[in-house]
Amino acid sequence: MRIIVFNAGSSSLKFGVFDLNAGDTLDKAQHVFKGSFDRFGPDGCDYQHGTQQPVVERAPYTSLAAATRAVPDLLSAAGVGAIDAVGHRIAHGGACFDGATVLNDTTLARIDALTPLAPLHNPANLEAVQVARQVWPDLAQWAVFDTAFHLSNPARASTYAVPKDWRDRGLRRYGFHGTSHKYVAHRAAEELGQRLRDLRLISLHLGNGASACAIAGGVSIDSSMGMTPMEGLVMGTRSGDVDPGLFGYVHRELGLDIAQIEDTLNRHSGLLGLTGSSDMRDVEARAAQGDADAQLAIHIYAYRARKYIGAYAAAMGGLDALVFTGGIGENSPSMRRRICDGLGFMGILLDHDRNMQVDLGARAAPQIQAYGARVNVLVTETAEQLMIAREVVVAANRSRGQGARIPVAVSARHVHLCRKAVDALFGPGYELTPDKPLRQQGHWAAAERVALHGPKGTIRNVAILGPLRDRTQIEVSRTDSFALGLDAPVRQSGKLDGTPQIRLSGPMGEMDSDGLIIASRHIHMAPEDAAGMGLADGDMVDVKLDATGRDLTFTRVLVRVSDNAFTEMHIDTDEANAAGISGEGDGQISAAATLEPALSNPQA
Ligand code: ADP
């Protein structure tokens, strides 16, 4: 498929043409054409083009719309043939757009309604969409949102502690730079030769705009930008975090109105406000010459980023990798060093030479941690346009698995025990009694039971599922976790690091164990069923349940393909109650199976 991607800003338009097919790894993607327009004026604009050695020339287009209209001619002059679909970067998708979306009158009206949340960005994005719809009336036009990746943030991270009527009006944290964070997270996992779903990552996108993102198991769980792209890190011209009390004070004491205060925090703060320049190269050069303002700005910049690393490591219960991207993250060894210095206690240590000799050609993602450091630190260029093209191709190919029926089983609370736990609860060497076989081959429910004790309450008579495992895992519902008074995270089975401790008791004793989770919904799938549906291990699908007429679609259900699996979706009792099913039900993979092919082949 040949995709053209537009990234329209308030004063510039970048575009790229990519050849990429569904299921292709990103190495196979061809960057066929790259162009950008900026510095618009009455005499025209600067037009830069070329994928290898970019050329800049003055072109006669006096507006973003005129430049967009010229793109087909520019492409055919460069010998680029027919386009199959158009992708647009849209800054704000609010709470409703969680993935690539076809643009039509309805979706455009919904995006337009979000303009108050992104008054600088969305209107420019939409202008490019309007023109592109006229230029390519027969092609599907897709929106890919900066916010979509972060819609997985839990409510505790996305909710501001403000009154309900404000929250009802959309006041919440959304997060931005999602396409970039998602790309670099995939790229880092690929470089480390590990599955993204096994990693806890922090991505630092440090460009003119800057944000940090905590990514656990491939899912964004927190990010430093908030309702607007102003919250969080220090940026080129944006302040990042400030005390909201500042608004009233500046209004009363300095006489600025709301628009002036917003404008100052957006366009005249950050590095610019601190030093007079928004460009980190200038700031670093001045600091090296002894400029005290520039030195302070660098300290503030690095300190803010370091605080977010600490916060996000705490949010994820640990950290496996830190990834730098964006103009500053990619090009400033001294800023990377400043941010990481002092974090040795949490396993972040840089190697001086590796940090100084970062070469980012050909999608490289070099590791710069010291040998033996616990946390891997990587640097990579972001590739937002390529990622947008990929999202479009994947979304256009969402029909795989569509319509397949999946039996659904309700997983009531249960524990999996390790040998040590059986010894502690039932006596040394005790063998559990397999009582009832389960549908997954070789699995059974034991005749014995245990009790769970939390600071708020006790749950007795909890089933034990065999066979024994290497590590004790306790699976409860969210309601159970409240009854126990413990904060169980939603996790895939086996991902137990950083989970809370809970007391278990049996007839012969008690023990404390970590491993308390709310199991994230998943489908066990036999390889032959997966092949028949065109699905693969690690895919995410949407499953529609219609057991009692209470239609409910569960999104982001993980497909786990394994030999001897009995194909069956597992949900917990809270989810079953919400869907109105008890015991067993039936689901259907709906149209929106969101498939995530690998970005590249680690074996290649
Ligand atoms: P955008 O967010 O607009 O895409 P970029 O990702 O290109 O911006 O980042 C721009 C920032 O990167 C600027 O502050 C620029 O000074 C900084 N930068 C680029 N090269 C270097 C460098 N060699 N050293 C320090 N900062 C750099």
Contact 601, 25 (CB under 8 A): yes
* Closest C-alpha residue for ligand 1 atom 12: 327
pLDDT at 572 > cutoff 80: yes
Out of 98, 146, 320, 539, which one is annotated catalytic?
Answer: 146
Vertex 184 angle, CA 217 and 95, to 5°: 65
> Distance between CA 594 and CA 165 in Å, rounded?
33
CATH class of 178-385: alpha beta
- Domains 2-145 and 178-385 fall in the same CATH topology: yes
Q: What percent of the chain has pLDDT over 90?
A: 66
User: What are the structure tokens assigned to 58, written together?
Assistant: 């003055």
The pLDDT assigned to 596 comes to: 53
Domain ranges in the chain? 2-145, 178-385, 398-596
User: What are the structure tokens assigned to 558, written together?
Assistant: 């993980």
The pLDDT assigned to 599 comes to: 55
The response to whether residue 327 sits with its C-beta less than 6 Å from ligand 1 reads yes
How does the average pLDDT of the chain come out, rounded? 90
Question: Strands, E, within 60-119: which ranges?
Answer: 85-90, 101-102
The response to whether residue 232 sits with its C-beta less than 6 Å from ligand 1 reads no
More confident residue, 430 or 121: 430
Helix, coil or strand: residue 63:
coil
146 is catalytic: yes
The response to whether residue 7 sits with its C-beta less than 6 Å from ligand 1 reads no
Per-residue pLDDT tens over the stretch 66-76: 999 999 999 99
Q: Minimum mean pLDDT among 45-49, 101-105, 426-430: which range?
A: 101-105
Mutate to test the pocket of ligand 1, among 279, 280, 286 (most ligand atoms within 8 A of CB): 280
Long-range contacts of 372-375 (CB under 8 A, 24+ apart): 373/347, 373/348, 373/349, 374/346, 374/347, 374/348, 375/319, 375/320, 375/321, 375/322, 375/346, 375/347, 375/348, 375/349
More confident residue, 535 or 316: 316
pLDDT at 20 > cutoff 50: yes
User: What are the structure tokens assigned to 225, written together?
Assistant: 């930008």
Please tell me the pTM assigned to this model.
Answer: 0.75
> Distance between CA 375 and CA 363 in Å, rounded?
21
Closest atom of ligand 1 to 325 CA is: 6
The response to whether residue 280 sits with its C-beta less than 6 Å from ligand 1 reads yes
Q: Which of 234, 211, 233 is nearest to 223 (CA)?
A: 211
Q: What are phi and psi of 39, to 5 degrees?
A: 50, 55
Q: Minimum mean pLDDT among 256-260, 287-291, 314-318, 554-558: which range?
A: 554-558
Q: Which of 305, 512, 543 is nearest to 425 (CA)?
A: 512
The pLDDT assigned to 603 comes to: 33
The CA–CA distances, whole Å, from 97 to 42, 179, 224, 388, 402 equal 37, 13, 19, 15, 20
> Distance between CA 498 and CA 514 in Å, rounded?
8
The response to whether residue 209 sits with its C-beta less than 6 Å from ligand 1 reads yes
Tell me the mean pLDDT in the region 206-235.
95
User: What are the structure tokens assigned to 16, written together?
Assistant: 């790229």
pLDDT at 471 > cutoff 80: yes
Tell me the mean pLDDT in the region 567-573.
92
Mutate to test the pocket of ligand 1, among 203, 281, 336 (most ligand atoms within 8 A of CB): 281
Per-residue pLDDT tens over the stretch 504-513: 999 999 999 9
Q: Which of 540, 465, 451, 565 is nearest to 502 (CA)?
A: 451
Per-residue pLDDT tens over the stretch 132-180: 999 988 888 899 999 999 999 999 999 999 999 999 988 999 999 999 9
Helix, coil or strand: residue 166:
helix
For residue 333, the CA-to-ligand 1 centroid distance in Å is: 12
CA 124 to chain CA centroid, nearest Å: 24
The response to whether residue 385 sits with its C-beta less than 6 Å from ligand 1 reads no
The pLDDT assigned to 517 comes to: 96
Q: Which of 497, 449, 453 is nearest to 473 (CA)?
A: 497
What architecture is domain 2-145? 2-Layer Sandwich (3.30)
The response to whether residue 281 sits with its C-beta less than 6 Å from ligand 1 reads yes
Per-residue pLDDT tens over the stretch 190-218: 899 998 888 999 999 999 999 999 999 99
